[in-house]
């Protein structure tokens, strides 16, 4: 399983909105510049996040985007599932598995189920607040 740029950039966008939150809307242009990501691509991603209610947009000259909820209320899994869809490594496991005639005799399905469970365990137990905390820890470190 490979996470696409859309999923990775959505995480970075959400993290940026959380880290730079002052209560004022944050312009997409500023996020794109800080993250070194095309503003056009950011517009596509923010549209998905906005429609899902993960962010809210403020129009106008001083407009921009804010998280709709506190960073602790988002998990990495929520963000990735929104942008990536199913996180299962194969189609016959996951939240909406397809029917497979071979499932009852398939030994390898156990591997895919364990892999899916492990992925879900990780992404569903890391919050956006955890990422903010990790970002702040990393920012506090310096080299001499």
- The domain in which residue 12 lies consists of 5-140
CATH number, residue 57:
1.10.10.10
> Nearest 5°: CA angle at 21, between 48 and 129?
75
Predicted confidence band of residue 23 (pLDDT cuts 50, 70, 90):
very high
Among the listed ranges 37-46, 89-98, 126-135, which one has the minimum average pLDDT value? 89-98
- Give me the DSSP letters along the chain: ----HHHHHHHHHHHHHHHT-SSS-B-HHHHHHHHT--HHHHHHHHHHHHHTTSEEEE-STT-EEEESS-GGG-BHHHHHHHHH----SSTTSSSSPPP-TTGGG-STHHHHHHHHHHHHHHHTT-BHHHHHHHHHHHHH----
Query: Which pLDDT tens digit goes with each residue over 91-122?
Result: 889 888 888 888 788 899 999 999 999 999 99
Name the domain count of the chain.
1
Q: Is the pLDDT of residue 24 over 60?
A: yes
What confidence score (pLDDT) does residue 143 get? 52
Burial 38-62 (b: 16+ CB within 10 A, else e): eeeebeebbeebeeeebbeeeeeee
pTM (2 decimals)? Answer: 0.90
| Residue 5 confidence (pLDDT) above 80 | yes
Task: Note the pLDDT of residue 105.
Answer: 86
């Amino acid at each position: 399983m490979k996470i696409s740029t859309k999923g990775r950039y959505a995480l970075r966008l959400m993290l940026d909105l959380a880290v730079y939150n002052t209560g004022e809307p944050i312009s997409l242009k500023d996020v794109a510049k800080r993250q070194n990501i095309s503003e056009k691509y950011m517009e596509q991603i923010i549209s998905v996040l906005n429609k899902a209610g993960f962010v809210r947009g403020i129009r106008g000259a001083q407009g921009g985007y804010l998280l709709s909820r506190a960073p602790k209320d988002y998990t990495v899994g929520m963000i990735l599932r929104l942008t990536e869809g199913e996180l299962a490594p194969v189609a016959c496991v996951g939240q909406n598995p397809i029917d497979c005639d071979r499932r009852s005799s398939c030994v390898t399905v156990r591997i895919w189920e364990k892999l899916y469970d492990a992925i879900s365990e990780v992404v569903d137990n890391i919050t956006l607040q955890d990422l903010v905390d990790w970002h702040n820890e990393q920012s506090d470190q310096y080299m001499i």
